[in-house]
Structure 1
Amino acid sequence: MREDASEPFDPLTYENIAGSVVRTVLETEPQALAGIPRFEGAGIYALYYLGPPEMYAPIADPGCAVPIYAGSANPPGSRIGGDALSPEVRPVLHARLGEHRRSIDQAGNLEVDQFKCRYLRVRPVWIPVAEEMLIRRFRPVWNSVVDGFGNHPPGRGRRDMRRPRWDVVHPGRPWAMRLEPQEIIEQIKEHLARWPGKGT
């Protein structure tokens, strides 16, 4: 039942359209992150973790109920006035998932075969609002406590930036800097104990 039945239902509000996109991606069959065939298009995705370490135990579910990370891949130019209504034929979503696979590959304490993903090709105009709703619904730990997983290597002149928290806990990416991980590990545990992110 809708929370506010006093207003007429409008299926074309941003909230309802985003909700339909999120429901659709969550209904797709999870696939191994290591073996996604090349495909064209932009869209949204959710990553799921099925292995150790112990700090992720509350969400390490073979049924892929709670994502560890959610994100999107937009076509080039979409942030600066590109055509958000046209279908995108470049493999930007596939490329983004490939970047994540390489980041996990480089981490010394993670294995790519312990990850699955759901993804959905979406017309670019709906990508930002759907991604926002997906993250708001689950509050994935790699989008909140352990930020920096989706970062790109810093450009020249930015090498003195502080190491991303993800690289503190999962060291291995060669461009990341040094910092102690224990405090962040404790924050991960607190986050997952307080909000397991079941999406309800």
Structure 2
Amino acid sequence: MSEVPYNPLDKRSLADSVMKAMLDRPVSPLPPTNPFIGAGIYAIYYVGDYPLYSYITENNNDNQFNQPIYVGKAVPAGARKGGFSLASGPVLYKRLSEHAESVRQAGNLDLNDFYCRYLVVDDIWIPLGESLLIEMFQPIWNKIIDGFGNHDPGSGRYNQQMSRWDVLHPGRGWATRLRPRNESLEEMLSRIQDFIAEIK
């Protein structure tokens, strides 16, 4: 039986390098204190007392920050159309600031309970790093409680369902214009609890 030779340039190895570099970064408040230029990846951590997230807080106590509640990316404008050397501007800082505003608007969350790690990285590596971080940590706001990263869909586009995130954490004004969910609160919480039981 022969072993597959190690290829330092395969996608998994490259993603692993980006992920490790991000996890070696210091933890900052959300949003970071000082604006900065660049695109990249990030993880958001929670240390509050919202009951559903107690397992997350337990993993992040004593400045350990072992379990992100959300992982995301910020790519340069025009990245979806392709191209090299895209000017990024402060897109990563802006994205983290948008997330902070969503938390501020939620009536049952406290922004002081949120922290982040982030890594400015060349845009070609951003999707790889984000995908591996989500696969490794199974962040609850990525995997089962959808909608944290959503934007206001704009006039004429409010026929979509309200996200689970906005049901659990009401406060974003535009979300109240969306259609109610097809699942009951009890059904939603049951599915979330099943997810938590599987990953703990």
Say yes or no: TM over 0.5. yes
Answer 1 or 2: which has greater helix percent. Answer: 2
Equivalent residue, structure 1, for 2:162: 163
* Cα drift, residue 139 of structure 1: 1.1
Match of 2:172 in 1: 173
Question: Contact 1:69–1:142 at 8 Å: present in 2 too?
Answer: yes
Contact conserved, 2:56 with 2:67, CA < 8 A, in 1? yes
For 1:78-157, what aligned pairs fall within 5 Å after superposition?
78-83=79-84, 86=85, 88-157=87-156
2:108 counterpart letter in structure 1: N
1:13 to 10, 13, 22: 10
Question: Structure 1 residues 89 and 78, CA, compared in 2 at 3 Å: closer, same or farther?
Answer: closer
Cα RMSD (Å)? 1.8
Task: State the 4+ residue runs in structure 1 displaced beyond 4 angstroms.
Answer: none
Whole-Å Cα distance in 2 between the matches of residues 195 and 174 of structure 1?
A: 32
Q: Where do residues 185-196 of structure 1 align in structure 2 (5 Å cutoff)?
A: 185-196=189-200
1:162-188 CA-to-partner distances (Å, cap 9, x unmatched) read 111100000000011355544323332
List runs of 5+ in structure 2 lacking aligned partners: none
Whether 1:45 and 2:46 are equivalent positions in the alignment is: no
How does the TM-score come out when normalised to structure 2? 0.89
Q: Calculate percent identity across the aligned residue pairs.
A: 43
Whole-angstrom distance in 1 between the partners of 2:140 and 2:95: 19
Query: How many equivalent pairs are there?
Result: 191
- 2-structure distance, mates of 1:36, 1:188: 33
Secondary structure, counterpart of 1:64 in structure 2: coil
Q: Which runs of 5+ in 1 are unaligned?
A: none
In structure 2, do the counterparts of structure 1 residues 133 and 107 end up closer, same or farther at CA, with 3 Å as the change threshold? same
Q: Partner of 2:68: helix, strand, or coil?
A: coil
- Structure 1 57/5 Cα, relative in aligned 2: closer, same or farther at 3 Å? farther
Say which SS state the counterpart of residue 7 (structure 1) adopts: coil
